Amino acid sequence: MSLVVVGSVAFDSVATPFGERERMLGGSATHFSLAASFFTQVRVVGIVGEDFGEEEVAVLTRRGIDTEDLERVAGGSTFFWRGRYDFDLNAAQTLDTQLNVFAGFQPKLSEGSRTASALFLGNIQPGLQSAVRSEYEGGGLVGLDSMNLWIDTQRGALIDAIRTVDAVLLNDAEVRSLTEEPNTVRAARKLRELGPRFVVVKRGEYGAALFGEEGFFGMPGYPLETVVDPTGAGDSFAGGFFGYLEGHGDGDLSQAVLRRAMAVGSVMASFNVEGFGTERVQALTDADIRQRFDDFKSMMSVESLQLASALRSDL
């Protein structure tokens, strides 16, 4: 079993009311692959510059992530983002974006990535998502994420890409914007009519909702007293969700398995926000994950308690 993710690998500089960091490891593919690596074998496809050193590569390889398709451009600089959060940690203020080598990113898939058993398309340009999807030969589950930039500027191309995948993961504002529906339930239904088997609507600290063939399911966010940096939380949710499906589902996309994957995503996102960038997830252990499920279990309803118990036995 293996899961390949195509997306950005970056350096982020972030300031929040609780501190700041300069040029820490970030990017959608980075956060996704680290979270997913606790549940399945992961391959990352991305592009970095000469400034991306062995220390950064080691963050990935220590988790067993295959970096064969992480392209390094001699003399180039890695994608860089600088942002700030005030006390409303749901709203990031972008202060600087430097695409650098990411501006010319043309994903190159090795044989191992083309034939992986699952594929996740991070929020890169929709045309690139479609190109990678057409190159993928694995025949497994294919998921897609996107962002407001592509919804606003390349809506048609993004819809074309969505028609080719099994799963779409977007936040609630993105789902409504893409479908031009003010109601999230109607918006998710409209997205599913394009072809995906299920749609996951990410709702930040409030959790996530899944709309699929068997109906609707909502999962709360894990309640935290300490939130340091929300950067990458949505990608960590997606990594936990997809990683669990690939590592435990055996192709089963029943409601029970999807609910367990939602719980995994919620827990992995909760760890991500407890530290800057990838700091918390880098230090994470399987025991930490199991303990958090025990804590989660005590906060949930009777029905969800049964779900958490089944999930814990799978970890």
Specify whether the CB–CB gap between 8 and 101 falls below 8 A: no
- Residue labelled with tokens 């590592």: 247
- Residue labelled with tokens 């996951």: 200
Specify whether the CB–CB gap between 237 and 18 falls below 8 A: no
Give the side-chain half-sphere CA count within 13 A for 288: 14
What tokens were used for 46? 């991305």
What φ, ψ does residue 218 adopt, rounded to 5°?
Answer: -115, 140
Which is it for strands 79-85 and 10-16: parallel, antiparallel or unpaired?
parallel
- Residue labelled with tokens 């399945």: 40
The candidate with the shortest Cα–Cα distance to 162, out of 10, 248, 174, is: 174
Q: Determine the pLDDT at residue 220.
A: 85
Residue 90 neighbours by CB under 8 Å, 6+ apart:
204, 205, 230
Q: Determine the pLDDT at residue 78.
A: 98
Q: In angstroms, rounded to a whole number, what is the distance separating the alpha carbons of residues 181 and 175?
A: 8
Specify whether the CB–CB gap between 120 and 51 falls below 8 A: no
Q: How far is CA 145 from CA 72, 237, 251, 287, in A?
A: 24, 11, 20, 29
Q: Determine the pLDDT at residue 260.
A: 85
Q: In angstroms, rounded to a whole number, what is the distance separating the alpha carbons of residues 209 and 191?
A: 14
Q: Which domain holds residue 81?
A: 2-314
Q: Determine the pLDDT at residue 192.
A: 95
Residue 218 neighbours by CB under 8 Å, 6+ apart:
207, 208, 209, 210
Per-10-residue mean pLDDT of the chain, 315 residues long, equals: 95 96 97 97 98 97 98 97 91 93 96 96 96 95 95 96 97 95 94 96 89 85 89 96 88 84 92 96 94 76 50 56
Host H or E run for residue 23? strand 19-26
What tokens were used for 86? 């005030």
Query: What total of structural domains would you count in the chain?
Result: 1
Q: Determine the pLDDT at residue 132.
A: 98
Q: In angstroms, rounded to a whole number, what is the distance separating the alpha carbons of residues 39 and 89?
A: 28
Q: Determine the pLDDT at residue 221.
A: 85
- CATH number at 188 reads 3.40.1190.20
Helices first, then strands: H and E counts in the chain: 13, 13
Q: In angstroms, rounded to a whole number, what is the distance separating the alpha carbons of residues 20 and 32?
A: 22
